[in-house]
Structure 1
């Protein structure tokens, strides 16, 4: 099942399974979201919760018990309930259950709120701690943007001049190795060689927006003011680029297995509410 929202400029289609954005189109029918061809990658824009990336040994410990969480958590594989809808907005929700408590022993509600305004789609996250104890979590976005022309026709532009150092992954965990990206005029031309070692992971950036350019013309901007970290990723020879605002990232080999000590983790007090959002702007 899907829900479609519209305004005078754009339409967005969201799948209830995973509350996943599967289409963002202009009124001229130009599509900006990757089609999800499983030959390359069968998803479009999954939500990453309650972890981002991979845990060491896919496990953590809490109150003397061992729990197992797969890469990027379970929210992307759950059926969300549509709890509110208007012509230009839709709100989806999941809540902790017997099944989630077996792998993540915290009571929560997660809401995703999609809203179209002019040439923007905002995607807001609301995490509610419904339990009596503090709750550790990470949350992140993973939208894949369609790049239908030759990959090397595209570039990404950072909002600010900065020294771009990213962390390399090793067996899906963050390694101690870093690399620097050569930036000219705040821009990086795209080529698949950039992603030969998987995603580019920035633990912290000065920039809070990233623009995709096609033949030097800006076509789309992702604004992620709330988010401290960012991933950029594609698969070899795939016609898409993921720009991924994150709160948190994969473990390192040195992680203790205690989620409360995990680098980049968010800690939410009992009955507290966490808010964040990012926007996709069509230029």
Structure 2
């Protein structure tokens, strides 16, 4: 089942399964979201919760118990309830259950709110701690943007001048090794060689937005103010680019396994609510 929201400029389609954005089109019918061809990658824009990336040994411990969570968590593989829909907005929700408590022992509600406003799609996250103790979690976005022309015709532009140092992954975990991107006028030409070692992981950034340019023309901007971390990723020879604002990232090899001590983790107090949002702006 899918839900469609639209305005005079854009139409967005969201699957209830995973509350996943699967299409974002202009009224000229240009598609900006990756089609999800499984020959490359069968997703479009999954929600990463309650972890981002991979845990060391795919496990963590809490209150003397060990739990197992697969990469990026379980929200992307759950059926969301559609709480509310208007012509240009939709609210989706999942809640903790007997099944989730076996792998993540915290009572929660996660709401995903999609809102269209002119040429902008806002995607808001609302995490509610329904338990009586602190709740550690990460949450992040993983939208894949369709790049229909030659990959080398595209570049990305960061909002601010900054030293673009990223961390390398080793066996899906964050290593201590870093590299710096060559930046010219805040822009980086896209090549598949950039992603030979998987995603580019930025633990911190000064920029609050990233723009995709096609033949030097800006076509799309991802705005992610207040998100501390960012991933950029594609697969070899795939015609898409993922721009991924995150609260958290994969474990390091030094991680203790205690989720409350995990690098980049968010801690939500009992009965508290966490809110954040990012947006996709068509230029």
TM category (shorter chain) comes to over 0.9
Q: Distance in 1 between matches of 2:104 and 2:163?
A: 37
Deviations along 1:83-119, whole A, 9 cap, x unmatched?
0000000000000000000000000000000000000
Partner of 2:171: 171
SS of match in other structure, 1:179: strand
Q: Distance in 2 between matches of 1:138 and 1:63?
A: 19
1:1-283 counterparts in 2 under 5 A? 1-283=1-283
Question: 1:164 offset after TM fit, Å?
Answer: 0.3
RMSD: 0.3
SS of match in other structure, 2:99: helix
Q: Distance in 2 between matches of 1:126 and 1:95?
A: 12
Q: Distance in 1 between matches of 2:26 and 2:174?
A: 37
Deviations along 1:122-146, whole A, 9 cap, x unmatched?
0000000000111000000000000
Question: 1:226 offset after TM fit, Å?
Answer: 2.0
Q: Distance in 1 between matches of 2:226 and 2:4?
A: 26
SS of match in other structure, 1:193: helix
Number of residue-to-residue matches in the alignment: 283
Question: 1:198 offset after TM fit, Å?
Answer: 0.1
Q: Distance in 2 between matches of 1:210 and 1:20?
A: 21
Structure 2 length-normalised TM: 1.00
SS of match in other structure, 1:43: coil
Question: 1:172 offset after TM fit, Å?
Answer: 0.1
Deviations along 1:48-70, whole A, 9 cap, x unmatched?
00000000000000110000000
Structure 2, unaligned runs of 5 or more? none
SS of match in other structure, 1:37: coil
Structure 1, unaligned runs of 5 or more? none
Question: 1:44 offset after TM fit, Å?
Answer: 0.1
After TM superposition, what 4+ stretches of structure 1 lie above 3 angstroms from structure 2?
Answer: none
Q: Distance in 1 between matches of 2:241 and 2:2?
A: 23
